[in-house]
Structure 1
Amino acid sequence: MPQRHHQGHKRTPKQLALIIKRCLPMVLTGSGMLCTTANAEEYYFDPIMLETTKSGMQTTDLSRFSKKYAQLPGTYQVDIWLNKKKVSQKKITFTANAEQLLQPQFTVEQLRELGIKVDEIPALAEKDDDSVINSLEQIIPGTAAEFDFNHQRLNLSIPQIALYRDARGYVSPSRWDDGIPTLFTNYSFTGSDNRYRQGNRSQRQYLNMQNGANFGPWRLRNYSTWTRNDQASSWN
Structure 2
Amino acid sequence: MEDADLCAGLADGPWVVAHLGQSLDGRIATASGKSHYVTGQENIVHLHRLRALADCVLVGAGTVAADDPALTVRHVSGRNPVRAVIDPMGRLPANCKIFNDGAARTLVLTGVADGPGERLLLAAGPDGIAPADILAALRGLGLTRIFIEGGGRTVSSFLQAGLLDRLQIAVAPMLIGSGIPAITLPAIDSLDKALRPPCRIHPMGADVMFDFDLRKAD
Which structure carries more relative contact order (alpha carbon 8 Å, separation 6+)? Answer: 2
TM (normalized to structure 2)? 0.19
Q: Of Structure 1 and Structure 2, which has the larger fraction of its residues in strand?
A: 1
